[in-house]
Amino acid sequence: MRKKIIAGNWKMNTTYEEAIALVNDITIQENQLHLSENKIVVIAPPFPYLAHCSTLLKDKAHFYIAAQNCSEHSKGAYTGEVSAAMLASIQANYIIVGHSERRTYFQETDAVILQKIKQALQQNMTPIFCCGEPLHIRENNTHFEFIQAQLQNCIFHLSDDEIKKIVIAYEPIWAIGTGKTATPQQAQEVHCYIRNEIKNNFGAAISASISILYGGSVNATNAAELFDTNDIDGGLVGGASLNATDFTTIIKAMQA
């Protein structure tokens, strides 16, 4: 049975005090969230707060910490960069890689993203690999080809053992931060496509075991119907993860 995951990507938001308060406000509701081995919460605060948030979540079962990015290099003279080894050393468990904001604003290529995935895996951390098409591609109706290329150039270079350890997030760029969510049918169609592509390349068992999250304007109102589909295994939530009430409503909307 594959894991159901609700991940909150805080992006470049919150002060230190706000971050600690937000973690506390989310975890205080722990008992009502019905978390288990198969239904987990991942929180991705900004780098400076990761170590403290990791300590706060240490004794909370089924809560995990993610970094929003890591370097494609393992160590050395890369001023301002953060390595996967550093993140592992503060007990971060997941790393978001290839987010569309990193691809667009920081010119991250599929080749660089693949290196980041390898760095995360070498440190026994789980990469959350993001893919998804911009608006003009969706309007041209070439989104399947676009996503296929993202998969082909990146995660299809992984071995069977490596791909088993990743999580995928489908985030159509036109739905990110726009309030314009993909419909459950649109999202399910792409998730099913991605799972099928994995099946063609790595076989049915691996394809059935990989969690594929949906991201793009997930909120407390639309989460339940998105999650009530065959191939959506949770959400990668931006804006709504900054509000503890909304985020916990989204967590509750995910059936284990």
Residues annotated as catalytic (active site), given as ranges = 99, 171
Token reading at 141: 């109706």
Q: Applying CB under 6 A, does 123 fall inside the site for ligand 13P?
A: no
* C-alpha count within 13 angstroms, C-beta hemisphere, residue 13: 13
d(CA 232, CA 168): 10
Among 25-33, 34-42, 82-90, 236-244, which window interacts with ligand 13P (CB under 6 A)?
A: 236-244
| Interaction residues for ligand 13P, span 166-225 (CB under 6 A) | 171, 176-177, 215-218
Q: Applying CB under 6 A, does 239 fall inside the site for ligand 13P?
A: yes
Contact 156, 194 (CB under 8 A): no
Q: Quick one: which of 179, 71, 152, 58 has its CA closest to 118?
A: 71
Report the residue number, 155 or 218, with the smaller CB distance to ligand 13P: 218
Give the shortest CB-7-to-ligand 13P separation in angstroms: 8
Cα-based torsion angle of the residue sequence 191, 172, 154, 140 in order, rounded to the nearest 10 degrees? 100
Report the residue number, 201 or 229, with the smaller CB distance to ligand 13P: 229
Q: Applying CB under 6 A, does 135 fall inside the site for ligand 13P?
A: no
Report the residue number, 68 or 207, with the smaller CB distance to ligand 13P: 68
CB neighbours of residue 67 within 10 Å: 25
Chain residues that interact with ligand 13P, rule: CB under 6 A = 9, 99, 171, 176-177, 215-218, 236-240
